[in-house]
Structure 1
Amino acid sequence: MYVIDSAIANRIVQRTMKIIGHNINVMNAQGVILGSGTNERIGSIHEGALLAISQDRNVEINQDSAPSLHGVKSGLNLPLHYQGQIVGVIGITGNPSELAHYGELLKMTAEMIVEQANLQDQLQWQNRQKEEFILQLIRAEEKDSQQLTHWGNQLSIDVSVPRVVAIIEIESVSHQQVHNNQALKQMVHLLQHPDRNNLIAMTSLNQLVILKPAFLDGKQWDPELESHRIDKLLQRIPANMELKLNIALGHFFQGFDGLTKSYRTAKETLTIGKSLHPDKTKYLYEDYALQVIFSGLKQHWRGDALAAPYLKLVAADKNGVLQKTLSMYIQNIGDHKRCAAALYIHRNTLRYRIDKIQQITGTNLQDFQDLLNLYLGQVMQQT
């Protein structure tokens, strides 16, 4: 059964008192005045309302009968219905004979407000349920697929649709302090219109998670196609929002557990992407795959062992020259001529630096395994 609360009662009072120049009282199903144009009456029992509730009829109270009832003035009291049940009473203070033509209008107005409030409450409840469901999909380590399928059906969500996770993070760049909450609502609207069958939830005050259908062409996962879709979304963002957005797209994995993995890759892609390229807006897992994969080895003995030779170089190379040289050497696949040209140094200088790198790290850059070890250690440092 729907219950009228003080907020709804006050909304009815404010709305209806604009229609007529009489005091309005709104009582709940127990006859307690919750809203009134006369504040001192709030909280008291209205016996006229109790009579209207018990007999389910309009009750007129004139000056002669008013003194015999507690907490009552002359006027008209009309029961409010919602889905066939009495949920409260609206009372109009004044001469009943003069109020008759107002009664049904005010009753209809009040019942419409009750219905709107109930629908809004239902929508908010459904949205909360949907957000909780989405958070369970992306965060739960072990999932009960049968239970989640049943829950999804109740929310009209088809959990069999293959999905990939994206994260949108909002940073305000306006000097007028644009509120993140309002900006997130605008982003949700953009993501929902036109309808792309996205599932959206807030994971923090400035972050949204989106579970996007993964097969945009209806056949297979295509990150390049999804990247174009993100570009189109960015183009639709109004310039007056004055926001910096960071969008990260995770990797696609099959099955229920795949969403948890996809969410983790999206989170790590966002963190690593912002660290390496803070000037960018869009971060794709495919562009940071190695860094994301090896981020799981941090603070683990395997990661420590893998990064050990490169960390020796970091410790000895205070100005970063040798690290930059190694990076360029790897990018040019060991081609001394191209590497020296890219660094704007003489080839003899390059040979000196390479010898120094090998001496510090105890490796041979001509040996593929040693070079790979240094490269992976470099990747580990970027996570």
Structure 2
Amino acid sequence: MLSPHLAKKIVSDVRRLIDEDIIIVDTNGIIMASTDTTRLGQFHEGAFLVCQEKKKRIITKQDENILRGVKAGINLPIFFRGDVIGVIGITGDPKKVSPYGELLKKMTELLIQENYYTEQLQLEARALETFVFEWLQARDWSPSFYERAQLFHIDLTMKRRVIIASFHENEPSLSVDMWKYVQNMWNEQRDIIVRWGNDRLLILQTDEDKERTTAKIKTVQRALIEKYAVTLYIGCGKMVDSKHVHHSYKQAERALHIAKQTKKIVFDEDLRLEMCLEDISLATKRELVKRTIEPFMHEQELLHTLRTFFANNLSLKQTAEALHIHINTLHYRLKKIEQYTNLHVRNLEHIITLYLAIRFLDETTKK
């Protein structure tokens, strides 16, 4: 309950309030944490007696010659759920430090209580994460799986949609506070929200309505930006029977990859071309770039021209205007691209090949 790490944290927090030395002692009388590091690991007879008697003890100058390892001050028992779990000691003139005693004791007990509930919350969260992980892996459900579902109050008869929410890679990792905040914002008891690694949340949703889902996601995104200054990318799978959530998970992964590129909420069922492109390996994408536009990759002007040409739906007039060049200059650049690649912008198959090449170039460069 009272670990050395927690004891050290308590000493650090309490020290901000007073200048006197502070110690935290375990129930065996061993000093666990101290502002005076030379006392660590020493036996403190006064604290040991406090644990036995369950009441505070004033340590006088005379006691320094009688009790082992003590200094003048005050020792107070730390209680948790009615039991003494340690002692906090404040070194100094007893008359001077006694007024702080009860306040610091209460503060210490609150810190321990807060730490306990945080640990319990994390244990419960990990247990749920483990259950969801098994849910996504298992094809057949064992009796123990059904029992754990009941313990978590999870209805396995309901259809579910997997939603994966990912934080930007340069932003801080997902904290317990963020996870709880999203749970409270989401506010749907039938849905399951778990932490999925250091930068993701996984939601098993029961609402089939896309518009409501989109509105809810946008509300959460705005709230996280305002409260934590973090950006959330969202990929959503299809609604499936609970037995097939692994399919929805794969779809959500694919949708999330597109969401990171488009900065939009992406539902897998809305994907068309992207659905096909996601199944192409990175090696194949790089090979297509090599076989097509690699000969002029050193000419940024031509690459920019080609990107702008596609961004303007192959309109020569709009592309020239966007580039602030004469249309004859645009024709000249496109002709150079044809010479480099032997692909012609008026040939449907060739223009599709160029489009995929420039798209794969941008994608693989980012990776």
If the length of structure 2 is used for normalisation, what is the TM-score? 0.64
Equivalent in the alignment of 1:248: 235
Name which of 239, 248, 251 aligns with 1:265: 251
Inter-CA distance 16–143: structure 2 relative to 1 (3 Å threshold): same
Q: Say whether 1:202 aligns with 2:195.
A: yes
CA distance in 1, matches of 2:100, 2:153: 43
Q: What whole-Å deviation, never above 9, does each CA across 1:60-96 have from its counterpart, x for those lacking one?
A: 3322232232211223222211112111011222344
Q: Say whether 1:285 aligns with 2:268.
A: yes
Which secondary structure state, in structure 2, belongs to the residue aligned with residue 9 of structure 1? helix
Equivalent in the alignment of 2:321: none
CA distance in 1, matches of 2:231, 2:107: 44
Name which of 173, 178, 181 aligns with 1:189: 181
Equivalent in the alignment of 1:340: none
CA distance in 1, matches of 2:263, 2:36: 58
1:166: how far off?
1.0
Name which of 143, 147, 159 aligns with 2:144: 147
| Percent identity between the two aligned chains | 24
What is the RMSD of the two structures over their aligned residues, measured on CA atoms?
A: 4.0
Whichever of the two has the greater Rg, that structure is 1
Equivalent in the alignment of 1:212: 205
Equivalent in the alignment of 1:39: 37
1:12: how far off?
2.9
Which secondary structure state, in structure 1, belongs to the residue aligned with residue 173 of structure 2? helix
CA distance in 2, matches of 1:27, 1:97: 22
CA distance in 2, matches of 1:86, 1:239: 42
Which secondary structure state, in structure 2, belongs to the residue aligned with residue 70 of structure 1? coil
Name which of 139, 164, 168 aligns with 2:165: 168
Contact kept, 8 Å, 2:221 with 2:231, in 1: the verdict is no
1:250: how far off?
0.6
Matched residue type, 2:139? E
Contact kept, 8 Å, 2:235 with 2:259, in 1: the verdict is no
Which secondary structure state, in structure 1, belongs to the residue aligned with residue 102 of structure 2? helix
Map 1:366-377 onto structure 2 (within 5 A).
none
- When structure 1 is superposed on structure 2, of 61-70 and 84-93 the one drifting more is 61-70
Inter-CA distance 228–240: structure 2 relative to 1 (3 Å threshold): closer
Contact kept, 8 Å, 1:183 with 1:241, in 2: the verdict is no
Contact kept, 8 Å, 1:78 with 1:103, in 2: the verdict is yes
Name which of 61, 64, 68 aligns with 1:63: 61
Map 1:269-348 onto structure 2 (within 5 A).
269-271=255-257, 273=258, 278-279=261-262, 281-288=264-271
Which secondary structure state, in structure 2, belongs to the residue aligned with residue 7 of structure 1? helix
Contact kept, 8 Å, 1:135 with 1:201, in 2: the verdict is no
Q: Say whether 1:105 aligns with 2:103.
A: yes
Structure 1: 5+ residue runs without aligned partners? Answer: 173-177, 215-220, 300-313, 320-351, 358-383
Matched residue type, 1:169? S
Matched residue type, 1:208? L
Inter-CA distance 129–56: structure 2 relative to 1 (3 Å threshold): same
For these two proteins, the number of residue pairs brought into alignment is: 291
Inter-CA distance 284–124: structure 2 relative to 1 (3 Å threshold): same
Q: What whole-Å deviation, never above 9, does each CA across 1:166-225 have from its counterpart, x for those lacking one?
A: 1223335xxxxx5242699758734631513342233344333211123xxxxxx34455
If the length of structure 1 is used for normalisation, what is the TM-score? 0.62
Equivalent in the alignment of 1:175: none
Contact kept, 8 Å, 2:54 with 2:77, in 1: the verdict is yes
CA distance in 2, matches of 1:151, 1:237: 31
Contact kept, 8 Å, 2:186 with 2:220, in 1: the verdict is no
CA distance in 2, matches of 1:94, 1:203: 49
Which secondary structure state, in structure 1, belongs to the residue aligned with residue 201 of structure 2? strand
CA distance in 2, matches of 1:21, 1:287: 63
Map 1:226-237 onto structure 2 (within 5 A).
226-231=213-218, 233-234=220-221
Contact kept, 8 Å, 1:29 with 1:89, in 2: the verdict is yes
CA distance in 2, matches of 1:96, 1:242: 47
CA distance in 1, matches of 2:99, 2:175: 46
Which secondary structure state, in structure 2, belongs to the residue aligned with residue 251 of structure 1? strand
Matched residue type, 2:266? Y
